[in-house]
Structure 1
Amino acid sequence: MFAIINGKVFNGDIFLHGKCVVVKNNEILNIINEDELDERFPDIKKIDAENGYITPGFIDLQLNGCGGVLFNDSITRETLKIMNKTNLKYGCTSYLPTLITTGDKNIISAINLIESMDDKEEVGVLGLHIEGPYISVKKKGIHNADFIRELDADMTDVISKAGGEIVKIITIAPENTKGEYISVLSKSGIKVSLGHTNATYKEIEDKKIYGITLATHLFNGMSSFNHREPGAAGAVLDMDISAGIIVDGFHVDYAAIRLAHKVMRERLYLVTDAVSPVGTNMEYFYFEGNKVYYKDGKCFGEDGTLGGSALTMDVGVKNLVEKVGVSLEEAIRMATLYPAKAISVEDRYGKLQPGHIADIVILNKNIQVEKVFSKGKLI
């Protein structure tokens, strides 16, 4: 048991002053007045936040790889451990390993891997994000067109049987997916997300009723907003759909992020869509057969198509504050509470409050990571 003292505690709603966070094992035991600590918990170990910000650990719902590895390349526990170890350097304590467009065999392997891990949350894994292959060729981005296909009854059965404890999100193009399959997936507890889609506003409106609740990387890989055809982007802005957004300055202009946030508020959350170069000096890598270069913070294919990002969650939070202009409180919520709500784990993650998992980050006044606690352990 220990207490984090001398910091501004962000409980998920507001910053609390004069408080400290008491941790026991892997959970937050309490948040109490700092001047009561010695009386209530004599001889407790104290960790000094040095007047920094004490926040929940960041949650990334779209992470393809980092630390030199890609989940698509090696669907193994070792890959997940490397991704988690890399994430922790940047304050990301939980994530969804994201499998992009690939064959059935790899999808089944990914599901089986997550199902086999009783301790998946110990290595930061909250579940799986299956991004494609049930998407639009016209909006495929870096995804390999050879694997893109329509969802069928057999794979709907396989994925839905895994359920929402294993598969947290599946990204599909609504215009190419039968409503009955969306319904089966949604009723199994999986969050169905529109993405890599060329759907019209009306097509999304027609399919949303079957259980679409999320959108994958808003503005990227989707039909654009037009005043006569709002497209997928307009549908997300207008409907009750939550969405991730990549705040790296390459994928979306900061002004567009600012406008989206003004409309969506708590429906908009930060994702990285990161790939293997994060935390390395790699100059290029291969993504399901496509060569992707990494230069000056940008990941791009040989034709210039963006191929994931090199963003980290801490830099995303900093960009939200300094480039987009949201408050620090809201930026932290976009990296913690809002993604937790998007996949319905806010009862254990995304806030600092008694009973929640002790995933904690200490940021300095420059919004830089100073200390990270994962499941109550100082990393």
Structure 2
Amino acid sequence: MLIKNASVFVGRSFQKADLRFEGDTITAIGHLDGPADLDAEGCCLIPGLVDVHTHGAVGEDFSDANAAGLQPMADYYAAHGVTSFLATTMTLKEEVLTPAMHTLRDYKRTGGAKCAGIHLEGPFLSYAKRGAQAAENLHLPDAALFDRLNEASGGQVKMVTVACEEEGAMDFITHVSRYATVSLGHTSCTYDQAMEAFAHGASHATHLFNGMEGLHHRKPGIIAAAMDAGASVELICDGLHIHPAVIRLVHKLYGDKLNLISDSLRCAGMPDGDYMLGGQPITMKNGKATLTGTDTLAGSSISLLDAVRNVVSFGLPLADAVYAASTAPALAVGLTDVGTLQTGKKADLLVLDRDLALKAVFVDGRRQA
């Protein structure tokens, strides 16, 4: 397959070039001879997006242990520009999480986006900063519980969110960081506690500003600690969780460590109404999802491509937005064959027009949309 005349995202910038892939692998990028299979004149060619924090979409949730719901989610992600994702679970009891792990372990995709692993967002979180996580399901950091869940998943856990101020957290982080990316989140930790956690092996921060103490000039907390430690950080860029000015600020502070995420729920791709999240009722109105009867935000209803479009509209350069939604998250969780357009890498790529409308999606070299 030869795509010609595109503005191709290579490294950190765009260049006018052609791209060829054979089977599922990119084989050449440059000025290539031969007739075009796809003429992308006036369009940009970017890596497939990598969403490391998404709970679900189209009425389905990864915590449900519903095998029949996995393929519709994979199809939804691909139709919205995501070619790889981490299936993200909620704070739930072990007896609920274990069948969810088994379901993901046994999943055989027939198309759509690739499940590149699992993100355990809990249950090792803080009561004070639990947000939309159910309090009765919280659990102290427990390496043995992580091991059981990871084994149940077939070793697919790629990220774990933990509140590092909780009892046993440092030993937990030391252990888990041997197997997965440890992210600090839903936490009341201080700057010093966060720095200790990063020294023990944590390397990421879950949805920065949400579910943690804010940045204060005498209490810098996790936000400043993540910058000092060189950690990667997530932002939910739906225009509701984070003000555009703060998104611009984080972009300038963290640079290529910024990861865009959707934090999408089962209500993504669905009409306004009532849904469930981690055993709790949520309500979506005008695309805003909250715990029912409260103002507590409960994830988002956007796609990761929506996040890219949003941050560009907020003033970030397109190249930086693309990097933050593809290369940076792949690096954050150790995915080495996706997230970049480079010879030898997987042919996961998107064609976007000047308005960032999606024109084509390829996953492992197969056209999805």
TM-score band by shorter chain is over 0.9
* Structure 2 residue 212 is matched with structure 1 residue 222: yes
SS in 2 for 1:294: strand
- Judge conservation of contact 2:71–2:112 (CA < 8 Å) in 1: no
**Structure 2: how far apart are the matches of 1:303 and 1:141?**
11
The 3 A distance-change label for structure 1 pair 5 and 64 is: same
> Which of residues 169, 177, 184 is equivalent to 1:186?
177
TM-score by structure 2 length?
0.94
Provide the residue aligned with 2:3 in structure 1.
4
Other-structure match for 1:15: 14
Q: CA RMSD in A?
A: 2.0
Who is 1:41 aligned against? none
1:132 deviates by 0.7
Match for residue 28 of structure 1? Answer: 26
Is the contact made by 1:224 and 1:234 (CA closer than 8 Å) also made in structure 2?
no
**How far apart in 1 are the matches of 2:239 and 2:129?**
20
In the alignment, which residue of structure 2 is the partner of 1:155? 145
CA shift, 1:278, in A, is: 1.4
Q: Shift in Å at residue 202 of structure 1?
A: 1.2
| SS of aligned partner of 2:29 | strand
CA displacement at 1:353 relative to structure 2: 1.2
- Aligned pair 1:49/2:40, yes or no? yes
Q: Is 2:276 the counterpart of 1:286? A: yes
Please point out which of 304, 310, 317 is paired with 1:313: 304
Offset, 1:225: 1.2
Whole-Å Cα distance in 1 between the matches of residues 152 and 199 of structure 2?
A: 22
Counterpart residue identity of residue 190, structure 2: T
Matched residue, 1:359: 348
CA distance in 1, matches of 2:111, 2:343: 19
Instruction: Identify which range, 162-171 or 233-242, moves more after superposition.
Output: 162-171
Amino acid at match of 1:89: A
Matches within 5 A, 1:55-70: 55-70=46-61
> Could you tell me whether the CA contact under 8 Å between 1:122 and 1:375 is conserved in 2?
no
CA deviation after TM superposition for structure 1 residue 365, in Å = 0.2
**Structure 2: which amino acid aligns with 1:15?**
F
Alpha-carbon contact 1:63-1:272 (below 8 Å) kept: yes
Q: How much does 1:89 deviate? A: 1.7
Structure 1 pair 249/307, CA: closer, same or farther in 2 (3 Å)?
same
TM-score with structure 1 length normalisation?
0.91
Q: Which amino acid aligns with 1:20?
A: D
Deviations 1:296-325 (A, max 9, x none): 2211112110011011111111111111x1
Offset at residue 366 of structure 1 (A)? 0.7
Letter in 1 for 2:76: T
Amino acid in the other structure paired with 2:128: K
Across the two proteins, how many residue pairs are aligned to each other? Answer: 366
How far the C-alpha of 1:329 sits from its partner, in A, is: 0.7
Relative distance call for 1:145 and 1:63 in structure 2 (3 A) is same
Runs of 4+ in 1 over 4 A off after TM superposition: 117-123, 159-165
Residue 221 of structure 2 aligns with which residue? 231
Paired residue secondary structure (2:210): coil
What corresponds to 1:373 in structure 2? Answer: 362
Task: Give the residue type in structure 1 aligned to 2:2.
Answer: A
Q: How far 1:237 sits from its partner (Å)?
A: 3.0
Whether the 8 Å CA contact 2:71–2:109 is kept in 1: the answer is no
Q: Where does residue 34 of structure 2 map in the other structure?
A: 37
Moved more, 286-295 or 86-95: 286-295
Whole-angstrom distance in 2 between the partners of 1:342 and 1:202 = 22
Q: Alignment identity in percent?
A: 31
* Cα separation, partners in 2 of 1:201 and 1:320, compared to 1, 3 Å: same
Is 1:304 the counterpart of 2:295? The answer is yes
- Flag structure 1 segments of 5+ consecutive residues without an equivalent: 39-44
Distance 2:319 2:55 in 1: 27
The one-letter code sitting in structure 1 at the alignment partner of 2:34 is L
- Alpha-carbon distance in 1 for matches of 2:78, 2:112: 12
Establish whether residue 322 from structure 1 lines up as the match of residue 313 from structure 2: yes
Shift of 1:161: 5.0
Q: Structure 1: how far apart are the matches of 2:107 and 2:80?
A: 24
